């Protein structure tokens, strides 16, 4: 143990021993500034395992454990056979680390011992087989043939930087759950190797993927620097960022996002590749943390606004099929782009503390994410489409059309299998970021869902458990129950979403205060055993405007789509195996009446069908809420080349063509519960 700690300063060693004793980062008394010189985080991530899912969210994670998240190594040959991350000759690229990046947090969120044992095989092999030089990863072809090991001097005999960036994220999460000190010395040795090797093996030596995703590497360097204060780390971070894509400059400069909207050729396509963009979203936050230059805060503000204006879709994510492809509701979005954008926002929230990104994260998580996988979490869509009137084999109008025509179907191996491996971080990391710590030992509920938090809070490090009971995002009531053996003074911060006009706080049955939306508020008091804080976020029906003059119906954090019957058909592809097509059962070509758009609160009827109970699944059968609105069919709105192009409208948004004279009542359900749907509607008289 002395050998591991010999390079740590007394201050850092003290901080590590505190963490090892189970005190959360939120409770550390020393600020980031005095520990390591980084810009202090607005909110700190809590150790993995501090949050336990409950209610419908627990059911979602249990389904993942029973499905591919818990068993990908058993059902997917690429990971199953002779895995390179276990010393074999098989997968040594990104897919095994991708899978672990979701399976590791799942194991600790559920406290599932068999899954922990499974993922620890890969972690322990990785930690135990680091080369003397600090290099790590699967044994390279050169190493096998020569019996030698990769060093900084012969770094060209190593392999791509990119998969290692993902494995570093895996190890970082594992450390917060386990306090396994091997991770710190492992990372330090690797970053020392990387500092030397980059002089002759730059970040893009093997592929442009690493160049595009350097911010992920820097994020882990900053995390380690926050603990060890090793002086070489900031210089290494600066060097990697200098060799990587300049996302922050592009976001701030604006020409990049305009060109991405205008061009779909092969030139510089990696700079507009949707998953690269999703990962690049964290770049300004990462750079700001190290430099303190507020131009980076403006860069993410400008870049995210431009991205969602030019390429945004109603379910809260941007088009990415595979490139950015405009805001037409019939463009697709890759599943990897959804989960990576969520992770980038989780990091941006910690750095900026901006409630806007909290709202954006919830919109992605509660709309785009669940719509792209099957109920059993065994099949996924490579590309989902907002207005998706069928799921089938086809070429579609994607920037990556895919000659095998498998980009849109639901299958385990359909499209590229990166998403099969990477989709697992979506729900798991969202759950582990429901709460954050604050600098003064308090906690912040910045995202909402059923769960239980355990942490040591306040100046006296009092053990506190907070049980969060809710059917959110379907219901507006969130109840927090405090459990503590003795009274505890700590700050309790809560986000009020921008869509909420006025939130109501009740403490132990008595109204405490009312606050406007779009902010995080803090309640400071001495909390007692059994205190009950209730937050009400009244949800009203609203209308938002999207591409091609379309309109979407919203309520709270959810977007609502036309409820269509689903006709599922199973098929088999020679190369990609079993898959499912889904076709609509019923008419889909409706325009919503202008009166609904002009006054949705008065002309849309909300029906609470059932609570989102412990058995909730994101499908039509379990949809807890329905909204009924007036609509008329548009006979000439038809499928063309497998999609439903938006009808032409006038400036006022009205469709001017032939419309049925008879008005009907149509039912809308949460977007995440649908597979075939219309969510961006034309408007009719």
Phi and psi for 630 in degrees, rounded to 5?
-80, 140
Q: Indicate if 511 and 658 belong to the same structural domain.
A: no
Residue 601 clears pLDDT 60, i.e. is over it: yes
Reported as a single tens digit per residue, the pLDDT across 658-681 is 999 999 999 999 999 999 999 999
Residue 463 structural domain:
454-470+477-516+523-536
pLDDT at residue 651, as a whole number: 87
Question: Is residue 377 domain-resident?
Answer: no
Q: Indicate if 530 and 559 belong to the same structural domain.
A: no
Question: Is residue 134 domain-resident?
Answer: yes
Distance CA 414, CA 496 (A): 39
Could you write out the DSSP letters of every residue in 209-238? HHHHTHHHHHHHHHHHHHHH--THHHHHHH
Element containing residue 521 per DSSP (H, E): strand 519-527
- How far are the Cα atoms of 72, 367, 653 from residue 521, in angstroms, in the given order? 41, 26, 38
Establish whether the linkage from the previous residue to 473 is cis, with ω within 30° of 0. Answer: yes
CB atoms within 10 A of CB 518: 14
For 42, the token pair is 């607005």
Structure confidence at residue 23 as a pLDDT band (50, 70, 90): very low
Cα 310 to chain centroid distance, Å, stands at 21
What is the dihedral sign for C-alpha 294, 295, 300, 304? positive
At what angle are helices 255-262 and 295-311 packed, to 10 degrees?
A: 20
Q: Indicate if 557 and 658 belong to the same structural domain.
A: yes
Distance CA 608, CA 594 (A): 24
- How far are the Cα atoms of 304, 482, 635, 673 from residue 341, in angstroms, in the given order? 11, 33, 38, 21
pLDDT at residue 21, as a whole number: 33
Question: Is residue 217 domain-resident?
Answer: yes
Residue 20 clears pLDDT 80, i.e. is over it: no
Could you write out the DSSP letters of every residue in 384-435? EESS-S-B-S--TT-SS--TT--SSSEESSSS-THHHHHTTHHHHHHHHTSE
Q: Starting from the edge strand earliest in sequence, which strands make up the sheet with 51-53, in order?
A: 51-53, 451-457, 462-470, 477-484, 532-536, 502-507, 510-516
Q: Indicate if 141 and 96 belong to the same structural domain.
A: yes
Q: Residues with Cβ < 8 Å from 153, sequence gap 6 or more?
A: none
pLDDT at residue 192, as a whole number: 98
Cβ atoms of 309 and 321 within 8 Å: the answer is no
Cα 385 to chain centroid distance, Å, stands at 18
Reported as a single tens digit per residue, the pLDDT across 192-238 is 999 999 999 999 999 999 999 999 999 999 999 999 999 999 999 99
**Closest C-alpha to 275, from 351, 181, 344:** 344
Q: Domain ends where: 199, 227, 244?
A: 244
Cβ atoms of 404 and 576 within 8 Å: the answer is yes
What is the dihedral sign for C-alpha 314, 317, 321, 327? positive
Reported as a single tens digit per residue, the pLDDT across 294-308 is 999 999 999 999 999
- How far are the Cα atoms of 85, 161, 218, 526, 652 from residue 634, in angstroms, in the given order? 55, 53, 52, 60, 18
pLDDT at residue 33, as a whole number: 37
Residue 534 clears pLDDT 80, i.e. is over it: yes
For 270, the token pair is 């990696």
Distance CA 470, CA 476 (A): 8
Q: What is the dihedral of CA 292, 298, 303, 309, to 10 degrees?
A: 150
Q: Residue 615 carries which DSSP code?
A: T
Q: Indicate if 147 and 195 belong to the same structural domain.
A: yes
Could you write out the DSSP letters of every residue in 18-58? HHHTT--GGG-SS-HHHHHSSPPPSSEEPPTTSEEE-HHHH
Question: Is residue 440 domain-resident?
Answer: no
- How far are the Cα atoms of 393, 394, 676 from residue 641, in angstroms, in the given order? 11, 8, 16
Q: Indicate if 634 and 486 belong to the same structural domain.
A: no
Question: Is residue 315 domain-resident?
Answer: no
Q: Residue 571 carries which DSSP code?
A: E
**Closest C-alpha to 102, from 67, 56, 55, 50:** 67
Question: Is residue 551 domain-resident?
Answer: yes
Cα 116 to chain centroid distance, Å, stands at 22
Q: Indicate if 224 and 86 belong to the same structural domain.
A: yes
Question: Is residue 676 domain-resident?
Answer: yes
Residue 5 clears pLDDT 50, i.e. is over it: no
Number of domains in the chain: 3
Cα 669 to chain centroid distance, Å, stands at 23
Structure confidence at residue 266 as a pLDDT band (50, 70, 90): confident
Residue 653 clears pLDDT 90, i.e. is over it: no
Q: Domain ends where: 508, 536, 564?
A: 536
Distance CA 200, CA 143 (A): 19
Reported as a single tens digit per residue, the pLDDT across 401-444 is 778 899 999 999 999 999 999 999 999 999 999 999 998 999 99
Reported as a single tens digit per residue, the pLDDT across 346-377 is 999 999 999 999 999 999 999 999 999 999 99
**Closest C-alpha to 170, from 417, 343, 336, 18:** 343
Structure confidence at residue 17 as a pLDDT band (50, 70, 90): very low
Phi and psi for 657 in degrees, rounded to 5?
-85, -165
Question: Is residue 184 domain-resident?
Answer: yes
Cβ atoms of 518 and 499 within 8 Å: the answer is no
Distance CA 235, CA 240 (A): 9
Q: Starting from the edge strand earliest in sequence, which strands make up the sheet with 44-45, in order?
A: 44-45, 435-437, 443-445, 488-496, 519-527
Q: Indicate if 197 and 169 belong to the same structural domain.
A: yes
Q: Indicate if 115 and 146 belong to the same structural domain.
A: yes
Could you write out the DSSP letters of every residue in 232-252? HHHHHHHHHHHHS--HHHHHH
pLDDT at residue 8, as a whole number: 42
Q: Residues with Cβ < 8 Å from 74, sequence gap 6 or more?
A: 80
Q: Residues with Cβ < 8 Å from 482, sequence gap 6 or more?
A: 464, 465, 466, 527, 528, 529, 530, 531, 532, 533
Q: How many CA atoms lie within 13 A of 379 on its CB side?
A: 19
355-368 burial, b at 16+ Cβ within 10 Å, e below that, comes to: bbbbbbbbbbbbbb
Reported as a single tens digit per residue, the pLDDT across 580-592 is 999 999 999 999 9
Could you write out the DSSP letters of every residue in 435-458? EEE-TTS-EEE-S--SEEEEEEET
CA angle, residues 69, 72, 77, in degrees to nearest 5: 165
Q: Strand locations in 528-652, DSSP E?
A: 532-536, 541-546, 550-555, 558-562, 565-573, 577-585, 590-593, 605-608, 625-633
Element containing residue 335 per DSSP (H, E): helix 335-352
pLDDT at residue 640, as a whole number: 94
Reported as a single tens digit per residue, the pLDDT across 78-137 is 999 999 999 999 999 999 999 999 999 999 999 999 999 999 999 999 999 999 999 999
Q: Indicate if 504 and 596 belong to the same structural domain.
A: no
Q: Domain ends where: 244, 267, 284?
A: 244
Cβ atoms of 190 and 130 within 8 Å: the answer is yes
Distance CA 159, CA 134 (A): 14
Distance CA 311, CA 309 (A): 6
Q: Indicate if 593 and 666 belong to the same structural domain.
A: yes
Q: Indicate if 648 and 532 belong to the same structural domain.
A: no
């Amino acid at each position: 143990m002395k050998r591991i700690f010999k390079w740590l300063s007394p201050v850092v060693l003290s901080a590590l021993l505190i963490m090892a004793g189970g005190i959360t980062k939120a409770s550390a008394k020393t600020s980031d500034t005095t520990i390591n010189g980084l810009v202090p985080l607005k909110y700190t991530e809590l150790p993995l395992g501090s949050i336990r899912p409950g209610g419908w969210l627990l059911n979602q994670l249990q389904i993942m454990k029973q499905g591919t998240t818990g068993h990908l190594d058993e059902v997917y040959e690429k990971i199953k056979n002779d895995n390179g991350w276990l010393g074999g000759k098989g997968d040594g690229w990104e897919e095994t680390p991708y899978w672990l990046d979701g399976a590791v947090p799942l194991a600790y969120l559920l406290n599932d011992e068999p899954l922990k044992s499974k993922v620890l095989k890969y972690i322990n092999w990785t930690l135990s087989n680091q080369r003397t030089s600090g290099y790590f990863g699967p044994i390279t072809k050169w190493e096998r043939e020569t019996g030698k090991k990769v060093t900084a001097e012969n770094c060209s005999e190593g392999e791509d930087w990119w998969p290692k960036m993902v494995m570093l994220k895996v190890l970082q999460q594992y450390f917060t759950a386990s306090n396994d000190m091997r991770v710190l010395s492992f990372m330090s040795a690797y970053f020392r190797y990387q500092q030397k090797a980059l002089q002759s093996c730059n970040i893009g030596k093997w592929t442009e993927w690493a160049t595009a995703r350097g911010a992920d590497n820097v994020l882990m360097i900053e995390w380690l620097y926050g603990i060890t204060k090793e002086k070489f780390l900031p210089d290494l971070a600066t060097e990697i960022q200098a060799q990587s894509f300049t996302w922050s400059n592009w976001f701030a400069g604006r020409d990049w996002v305009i060109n991405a909207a205008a061009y779909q050729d092969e030139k510089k396509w990696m700079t507009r590749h949707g998953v690269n963009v999703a990962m690049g979203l964290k770049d300004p936050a990462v750079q700001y943390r190290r430099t303190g230059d507020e131009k980076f805060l403006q860069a993410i503000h400008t870049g995210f606004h431009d991205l969602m204006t030019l390429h945004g879709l109603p379910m809260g994510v941007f088009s990415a099929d595979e490139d950015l492809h405009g805001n037409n509701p019939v463009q697709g979005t890759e599943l990897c782009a959804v989960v990576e954008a969520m992770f980038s926002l989780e990091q941006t929230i910690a750095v900026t503390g901006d409630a806007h990104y909290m709202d954006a994260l919830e919109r992605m998580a509660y709309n785009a994410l669940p719509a792209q996988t099957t109920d059993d979490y065994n099949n996924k869509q490579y590309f989902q489409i907002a207005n998706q009137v069928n799921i089938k084999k086809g070429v579609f109008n994607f920037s990556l059309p895919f000659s095998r025509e498998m980009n849109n179907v639901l299958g385990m191996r359909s499209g590229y299998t990166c998403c099969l491996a990477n989709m697992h971080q979506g729900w798991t990391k969202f759950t582990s970021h429901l709460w954050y710590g604050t600098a003064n030992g308090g906690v912040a509920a910045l995202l909402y869902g059923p769960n239980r938090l355990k942490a040591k809070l306040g100046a006296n490090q009092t053990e506190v458990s907070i049980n969060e009971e809710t059917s959110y995002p379907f219901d507006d009531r969130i109840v927090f129950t405090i459990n503590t053996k003795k009274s505890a003074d700590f700050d309790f911060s809560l986000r009020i979403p921008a869509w909420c006009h006025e939130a109501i706080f009740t403490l132990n049955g008595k109204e405490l205060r009312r606050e406007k939306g779009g902010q995080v508020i803090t309640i400071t008091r001495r909390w007692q055993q059994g205190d009950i804080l209730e937050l009400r976020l009244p949800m009203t029906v609203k209308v938002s405007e999207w591409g091609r003059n379309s309109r979407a119906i919203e309520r709270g954090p959810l977007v609502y789509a036309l409820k269509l019957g689903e006709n599922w058909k199973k098929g088999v592809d020679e190369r990609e195996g079993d898959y499912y097509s889904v076709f609509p059962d019923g008419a889909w070509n409706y325009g919503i009446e202008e009166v609904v758009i002009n006054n949705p609160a008065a002309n849309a009827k909300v029906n609470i069908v059932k609570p989102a109970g412990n058995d909730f699944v994101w499908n039509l059968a379990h949809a807890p809420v329905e909204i009924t609105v007036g609509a008329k069919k548009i006979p000439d709105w038809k499928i063309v080349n497998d999609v439903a192009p938006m009808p032409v409208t006038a400036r006022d948004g009205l469709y001017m063509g032939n419309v049925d004279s008879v008005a009907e009542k149509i039912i809308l359900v949460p977007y995440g519960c649908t597979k075939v749907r219309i969510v961006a509607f034309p408007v009719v008289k």
